[in-house]
């Protein structure tokens, strides 16, 4: 018995296509995030009003942890959005060397003046101190939505390194291209083999008679013909019945007209006879003046 090739298994090919499509989509998303992160001023791209950020420290434990991916709702940093105490905000801060970075802490207090409004922030970790620098509204990027994916931030950070770009973008894309090329060439080879096999079988086989019907087909054909003839006879019988009913009705009408004519004829004869009898009686009656005598 010939062993079936796994590449001919439809389920296997379907699974491979689905997996390759998912890998391609993830690679494209990672690639877009890396490109936009490189172009963004502070390395935080904006996807339709949302940003995906990786957590760099444990200062917000247990709200989220280092290495998690969090989603932040972006707002314009022109002071139009009002933040309140308890909001977890992402903002631009400065480290000890004067370099800018993005920090995400909870608003602990609000400081307001005549023309000034700033926010006091602190991490959720019990040992986290209050941030020394107050955060002006112009430095706030947005508010944490509460959505996080554990450890996915580490994946995005790794994808932004040269090694990560090769392993998570270049390599998967190359493997998918190679697989698609292999599938295409194999389909061409299989199609050519099928064409050659069909041509050989056609050349060596004997043509069947054009009007050949197997026994089952003959009996079915006869049954169809008999059914057609039965329907034709039924239609003819129905037409004949309609014609006969019409002739019978016409005959009844003629008989009725004939009987009416005979009746009118008899009435006319009787009327004529009665008129003659009355005339005869009047002729035989003596005149009353003929019997008078003059004295």
Whether the CB-CB separation of 36 and 8 falls below 8 Å is answered with no
Closest C-alpha to 32, from 46, 21, 20: 46
pLDDT tens digit sequence for 25-50: 776 777 766 666 555 556 688 888 99
Is residue 213, in this structure, part of any structural domain at all? no
**What's residue 293's pLDDT?**
44
Structurally, how many domains does the chain consist of? 3
- Quick one: pLDDT at residue 152? 87
Residues 79 and 131 in one domain: yes
224 and 258 together in one domain: yes
Give every CB contact of residue 252 below 8 A, 6+ residues apart in sequence.
none
Average pLDDT over residues 57-74: 95
With respect to residue 154, please indicate whether it lies within any of the assigned structural domains.
no
Which is higher by pLDDT, 208 or 152?
Answer: 152
Report the mean per-residue pLDDT for the chain.
81
Domain end position, chosen among 148, 183, 209: 148
Is there a single domain that holds both residue 109 and residue 190? no
- Confidence tier at 295 by pLDDT (50, 70, 90): very low
Range of the domain at 73: 49-148
Q: Are residues 144 and 54 in the same domain?
A: yes
Does any domain span residue 212? no
Residue 295 lies in a domain: no
Examine residue 31 and say whether the peptide bond preceding it is cis (omega within 30 degrees of 0): no
79: left (phi over 0), alpha (psi -120 to 50) or beta: left
* Mean pLDDT in residue range 252-259: 88
pLDDT, residue 211, reads 53
Mark whether 57 and 103 lie in a shared domain. yes
Considering the domain boundaries, does residue 209 fall inside one? no
pLDDT of residue 4: 58
Q: What pLDDT does residue 128 have?
A: 92
Give me the residues paired with residue 71 across strands: 52
102: which residues sit within 8 A by CB, 6+ positions away? 42, 43, 44, 53, 90, 91, 92, 93, 141
Q: Domain ends where: 148, 179, 209?
A: 148
pLDDT digits (tens, 9 = 90+) for 144-187: 999 999 998 888 888 778 887 788 778 877 887 887 788 778 77
More confident: 216 or 245:
245
Does residue 289 lie within any of the structural domains? no
């Amino acid at each position: 018995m010939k062993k079936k090739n796994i590449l001919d298994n439809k389920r296997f090919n379907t699974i491979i296509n689905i997996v390759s499509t998912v890998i391609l989509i993830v690679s494209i998303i990672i690639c877009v995030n890396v490109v936009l992160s490189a172009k963004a001023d502070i390395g935080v791209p904006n996807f339709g009003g949302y940003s995906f950020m990786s957590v760099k420290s444990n200062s917000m434990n247990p709200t989220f942890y280092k290495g998690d991916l969090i989603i932040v709702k972006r707002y314009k940093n022109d002071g139009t959005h009002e933040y309140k105490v308890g909001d977890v905000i992402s903002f631009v801060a400065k480290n000890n060397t004067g370099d800018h970075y993005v920090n995400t802490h909870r608003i602990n207090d609000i400081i307001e003046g005549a023309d000034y409004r700033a926010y006091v922030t602190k991490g959720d970790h019990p040992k986290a101190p209050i941030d020394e620098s107050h955060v002006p509204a112009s430095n706030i990027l947005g508010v944490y939505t509460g959505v996080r994916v554990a450890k996915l931030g580490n994946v995005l950070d790794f994808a932004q390194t040269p090694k990560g770009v090769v392993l998570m973008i270049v390599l998967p894309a190359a493997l998918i291209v190679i697989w698609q090329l292999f599938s295409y060439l194999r389909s061409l080879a299989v199609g050519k083999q099928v064409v050659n096999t069909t041509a050989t079988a056609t050349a060596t086989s004997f043509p069947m008679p054009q009007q050949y019907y197997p026994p089952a087909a003959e009996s079915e054909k006869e049954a169809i013909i008999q059914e057609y003839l039965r329907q034709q006879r039924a239609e003819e019988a129905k037409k004949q019945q309609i014609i006969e009913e019409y002739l019978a009705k016409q005959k009844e009408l003629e008989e009725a007209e004939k009987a009416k004519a005979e009746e009118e004829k008899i009435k006319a004869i009787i009327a004529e006879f009665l008129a003659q009898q009355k005339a005869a009686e009047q002729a035989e009656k003596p005149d009353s003046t003929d019997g008078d005598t003059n004295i």
